[in-house]
Amino acid sequence: MKHPMFTEEHDMFRESLRKYVRKEIIPHAEEWEEAEFFPNEVFRKLGELGFLGAHWPVEYGGGGGDFIFSLILAEELAKSGMAGLGMGVGVHIGMATPPILKFGSEHLKMRYIVPAAKGEKIAALGITEPGAGSDVAAIRTTAVKDGNAWVLNGTKMFITNGIRADFVMVVARSDPSSKGHRGISLFVVDTNTPGYHVGRKLKKVGMCSSDTAELIFEDVRVPLENLVGEEGNGFKQIMWELQGERITSAASNMARAERAFELALEYSKQRVQFGKPIAAFQVTQHKLADMIAMIDCCRNFVYNVAWDFSKGNYPVKEISEAKLMCSVLGFQIADMALQIHGGYGYTHEYEIQRYWRDLRLPRIGGGTDEIMKEIIAAQLGLKDIK
């Protein structure tokens, strides 16, 4: 059932993107997963074809489309069998760059968004630290004004695109004397700046095709004009960014879950046990019915939330609900799909194991299950009860 938010233009975009993914990305899945890295050329090709900036303003190299185009990109890359690739692209267009478009100066937009739309410059987002994950207000990376520059010192952890990034959107404390969410600002940092180092590449359980790193800032001098928006307003700015990120995360989770379902359905029709395909057994049929019911319900809820968000609304409770449920149920569906595959599902011979591993991260990244529940509870007024 097609959702009414999708126009003919959206459908054409999806079909074109799907053809590209099938031809240019899926055939390399095993190779890039094994290498734990996909080529930077993927960014350039996606940019050249107009996929990266389809939802960005034309004056900054984009296609002038709406938020729904980024949702479609997330869904189609999610079905490639390499969630890490989708995550790397998602960070580039949906996490690190939106604050520049929303709050940045014209100078920053021309310098970073235009080449980002072409895939010529790759972006990363530096929020998480060794001691500050879900608690964003606890970040310790500092930015001190010194003459014509901000001087950054600190460490960021679990940074997607950390190895390959040309620039990083860094969340830092610009007022070291402040506490909590106050005194935090956003900065665009070029990775060729002296004092910027990649500490180490992190080896992960899943999302293997993406590069994830620890970043170290040692007296990194950042031009004053690379401050994004107002000084001290960074916490609100990054909280705004997280809303779009969580919607696309929810959508991609359901797309991966749908692919896991398709793999399980295909396998159940082929795998013979006790003289007949396991799809003929009622227990398998009911499991498959549960899976597709969860997928359809969650996906349509996400679409409704995305549609509302694309109109300029800010439904925080519903976004948090979508992120929570699609993360939890996405992994549950992948687990059910692997169970249908039996022992073969636990081997690298079958694709399902990648979806099972990859669908575990969304319950942590972009806001843990627990943080989503805290937000929902706050929106219900429960935090005011004493």
Return the axis-axis angle of helices 83-91 and 234-270, rounded to nearest 10°.
160
Total structural domains within the chain: 3
Checking if the pLDDT of 1 tops 80, the result is no
CATH code for the domain of 111 = 1.10.540.10
Pick from 214, 190, 176, 334: nearest CA to 262: 334
283 with 195, same domain: the answer is no
Per-residue pLDDT tens digits for 167-218: 999 999 999 888 878 899 999 999 999 999 999 999 999 999 999 999 999 9
Strands 167-173 and 123-126: parallel
At residue 119, φ and ψ (nearest 5 deg) are 75, 15
Per-residue pLDDT tens digits for 74-109: 999 999 989 999 999 999 999 999 999 999 999 999
Residue type at 321 in one-letter notation: E
263 with 358, same domain: the answer is yes
Which of 194, 209, 232 delimits the end of a domain? 232
Pick from 222, 36, 189, 173: nearest CA to 123: 189
Q: What percent of the chain has pLDDT over 70?
A: 100
Q: What angle do CA 192, 197, 201 make, to 5 degrees?
A: 120
Checking if the pLDDT of 282 tops 80, the result is yes
Checking if the pLDDT of 143 tops 80, the result is yes
Q: What percent of the chain has pLDDT over 90?
A: 94
| C-beta separation of 260 from 269 below 8 A | no
- Under the banding of pLDDT at 50, 70 and 90, the label for residue 138 is confident
351 within a domain of the structure (yes/no): yes
Q: What is the mean pLDDT of residues 240-257?
A: 96
195 with 141, same domain: the answer is yes
pTM, entire model: 0.94
Of 57-71, 133-147, 349-363, 365-379, minimum mean pLDDT range: 133-147
Per-chain mean pLDDT for the chain: 96
Checking if the pLDDT of 312 tops 80, the result is yes
CATH code for the domain of 174 = 2.40.110.10
Per-residue pLDDT tens digits for 315-355: 999 999 999 999 999 999 999 999 999 999 999 999 999 99
Q: Which domain holds residue 199?
A: 124-232
- Under the banding of pLDDT at 50, 70 and 90, the label for residue 301 is very high
343 within a domain of the structure (yes/no): yes
Q: What confidence score (pLDDT) does residue 62 get?
A: 96
Q: Which residues are catalytic?
A: 245
- Helix or strand or coil: residue 169? strand
- As a whole number of angstroms, the distance between CA 118 and CA 113 comes to 9
40 within a domain of the structure (yes/no): yes
Strands 184-190 and 227-228: antiparallel
| C-beta separation of 366 from 249 below 8 A | yes
Q: What confidence score (pLDDT) does residue 113 get?
A: 98
248 with 372, same domain: the answer is yes
Which of 213, 232, 251 delimits the end of a domain? 232
User: Looking up tokens 């989503």, which residue turns up?
Assistant: 372
3 within a domain of the structure (yes/no): no
